[in-house]
Amino acid sequence: MSADREEPAKRNRRGGAVVEEPPPRDGRAARAQRTRRAVADALLALIEEGDLRPTSKSIAERAGVSERTIFQHFEDLETLFRVAAGRVGDHLKRDLEYISEEGPFEERLNRYLDELSFLHESMTPVRRASRLHEPFSPVLEQALDWWRDTLRRGIDRVFGQELEHWSSDERRDVVEALALIVSWSSWENMRKHSAFSTDRARHVMDLGFRSVLGKPPASARRAPTQADR
């Protein structure tokens, strides 16, 4: 990935600054919105720091509020996880939508894999926490299903030119194959269990994408060396 990689969360689809949702005009509603965001951000911060199962007490301390305040704004921790998962999902959707479906294949693929590699790496702590909670959390299960569906729709849109010659059923299965190649689970397997560098993991996704779509390897991109292992 490029060394001057810009953090996607600070852009909108046209490359400008992301405009935050305007606060409610009512003062009390605005304060409630700020509190909810602070609590959700505290949860995400704790997860990113390695606390994959934070308690309401630790979340409250991090957000600078009381535990009672948390449950005044969120029905339960399940609801809080849904809000936090939604914020991560919004980043995922926005940053992938930023990639144009127009232009040469090489340009689209490079931008897509650069973006997705960055997102996978940055959201890994949250995804690891989600994996712990998912079997017991219908809310998180629903959020993760939404993320996976968003990934499929993004592939179908960005690579529509390459997919248009397949029938609708074949196209659906090809998109599914591509989604498996670039899923976070695949990324986690390469990064954690196989100890691949980010460049090598990205290179593997690149090879898989090209193989499914019948595209030749990119000779201009440096293949990972032994030092990348």
Q: Regarding predicted confidence, which is higher, 4 or 108?
A: 108
Number of H helices, E strands in the chain: 10, 0
The confidence band for 104, taking pLDDT boundaries of 50, 70 and 90, is very high
Kindly give the residue spans of alpha helices, DSSP state H, lying in 49-159: 56-63, 67-73, 77-97, 105-133, 138-158
What confidence score (pLDDT) does residue 17 get? 29
Architecture of domain 8-12+81-228: Orthogonal Bundle (1.10)
pLDDT digits (tens, 9 = 90+) for 10-31: 333 333 323 344 555 667 778 8
pLDDT digits (tens, 9 = 90+) for 162-211: 999 999 999 999 999 999 999 988 999 999 889 999 999 999 999 999 99
Question: Three-state SS for 206?
Answer: helix
**Domain residue ranges of the chain, discontinuous segments joined by +:** 8-12+81-228
The confidence band for 92, taking pLDDT boundaries of 50, 70 and 90, is low
Q: Does 2 score more than 50 pLDDT?
A: no
What confidence score (pLDDT) does residue 224 get? 53
Rounded mean pLDDT of 101-109?
A: 94
Rounded mean pLDDT of 151-155?
A: 92
